[in-house]
Structure 1
């Protein structure tokens, strides 16, 4: 769960890190083979995407309250 005290700059930084992690996970998943590896990578990618979505919503909420 994202920290509610984060500011927009902190959230943007975390989003950038997560997107880089996602890029690396996608590259890794392309090189792995096997159902177990695919399932693990799919879960990790889904977790990272969910966190990006939560942080993006939080950033948008903060932006609206400051407008």
Structure 2
């Protein structure tokens, strides 16, 4: 169920907004992970952090590609 978000046609401002949201999500997840109890919760949070980081990396690459063409 890992569908790619539809971000075709987004400009730099929209990508910047999504990047800011993902960075906020990562901060929140790291805070949750530091206070989580139990291995199952920790594993789930680790997976969510990895997913959010992968999406952030993908959007940053896309943004950098757009910026380098401008």
Q: CA RMSD in A?
A: 0.9
Structure 1 gap ranges (5+): none
Aligned to 1:38: 42
5 Å matches for 1:1-67?
1-2=4-5, 3-66=7-70
**Structure (1/2) with the larger helix percentage:** 1
Q: Given the two structures, how large is their TM-score scaled by the length of structure 1?
A: 0.92
Q: Which has the higher contact order (CA 8 A, sep 6+)?
A: 1
Q: Given the two structures, how large is their TM-score scaled by the length of structure 2?
A: 0.89
Q: How many residues align?
A: 66
Structure 2 gap ranges (5+): none
